[in-house]
Structure 1
């Protein structure tokens, strides 16, 4: 299925949507997965690279996608950080920007309401459930071996790796993560294409995402919140 201008982080957002309940479920660390997807796409497009373990931008390089470009600009203007640092630094701003972008593109609709009849709030409704369902099916096919890894597009490989490592349970269960661990290792390599540097970068980004999610889970378990 062709998703037009949908970026990798936007597709990760849609993957987290439970179409039967019309809301996001089973994705407490979605902001981390979405930020990882944005970093991965910027790296695949040659906007970000790694130098001495530091995420380094190609100054002035842009993609034309406002969410990705906002992150590229933030990296340019901020102090040096590792992949782990960029996964957590203001990551919810990327999540919010992706949601607003999906509203603009017609994938979501925002409805105004009130919590307890008092406090203003917005409820989000998925307008294109069929797109999200096909996206889910395609991601599962990539994960479960629907085609040889060598034939999987780089961006699709990165999508599945971020969804699995970010623990988006609507599309990748814990059982699937364990069962297809070797496949996920291969997809991580595939996300880097033929470039040894990009393949190494994708592996480090996956490790950083796993570490960030584990830290967030530990914080929630201890009552300290997370993210």
Structure 2
């Protein structure tokens, strides 16, 4: 798995690496963004569609990509009851996060160390094997989001990466200030992620809305429970 061929969910995971704090942060809903990235890539490959009636997600039966994470999600969708995009963003989404992390580790992009919190509780600490990959991804993501590169020259995968990072609030890659300042460009990037297909553009718009809704619901639930923090599924002991 060469760096240039990393899947969309894998790139979203690496975007959660904080260049300043030297650890994975990404926000507490990284698993939702990573799952949305997997759904986006499957849709862009033509392997996932929304039904016109009801909006349930329909996979292309028997199709596979050769990527263990994407194929695992296809298999899950095939053998589960029908769900809309929002349902597939949340249903067992941490499974996809764990699968992405394990795949990156297996291919030499991540390394893990076992540590003890307070000298007692064992946790695993993950970090990139080569931080240059994360640094490059951060720079490329911000360049796509902020311009001045015309949206028409942005690739569909690049556009989807930025859209999922923004809607999923993957910190520190895309800040709240960025989301507000480049709101119009994010709309353009959402359409760009669908290419020339009206059906795919509609799916990508729905996916962005579904991800934003899932994150908002998770934030509300944490607020009600009095839980906070920026845990991030990729952090110490997370996922």
Please give the range of the TM-score, normalised by the shorter of the 2 chains: over 0.9
Higher relative contact order (CA 8 A, sep 6+): 2
Unaligned runs of 5+ in 1: none
Match of 1:184 in 2: 186
Establish whether residue 209 from structure 1 lines up as the match of residue 211 from structure 2: yes
The CA deviation at 1:4 is 2.9
> What are the residue-to-residue correspondences of 1:1-227 with 2, within 5 Å?
3-51=3-51, 52=53, 53-223=55-225
- Secondary structure of 1:28's counterpart equals coil
The CA deviation at 1:24 is 1.5
2 CA distance for matches of 1:4 and 1:63? 16
2 CA distance for matches of 1:160 and 1:146? 15
Contact 2:17 2:26 in 1 (8 A): no
2 CA distance for matches of 1:120 and 1:181? 42
1 CA distance for matches of 2:69 and 2:154? 25
Contact 1:41 1:155 in 2 (8 A): yes
TM-score normalised by length of structure 2 = 0.91
- Secondary structure of 1:171's counterpart equals coil
- Secondary structure of 1:111's counterpart equals strand
Contact 2:146 2:182 in 1 (8 A): yes
- Secondary structure of 2:123's counterpart equals strand
Following superposition, which runs of at least 4 residues in structure 1 exceed 4 angstroms of deviation? 224-227
- Secondary structure of 2:174's counterpart equals coil
The CA deviation at 1:146 is 3.2
The CA deviation at 1:74 is 0.3
Contact 2:15 2:26 in 1 (8 A): no
- Alpha-carbon displacement from aligned partner over 1:179-201 (angstroms, at most 9, x marks no partner): 10010000000000000000000
Aligned residues: 226
- Secondary structure of 2:3's counterpart equals coil
Unaligned runs of 5+ in 2: 234-239
Match of 2:236 in 1: none
1 CA distance for matches of 2:148 and 2:3? 19
The CA deviation at 1:122 is 1.3
The CA deviation at 1:224 is 6.5
Contact 1:36 1:87 in 2 (8 A): yes
* Root mean square deviation, CA, Å: 1.6
TM-score normalised by length of structure 1 = 0.95
The CA deviation at 1:114 is 2.9
1 CA distance for matches of 2:135 and 2:81? 39
Contact 2:24 2:127 in 1 (8 A): no
The CA deviation at 1:217 is 0.5
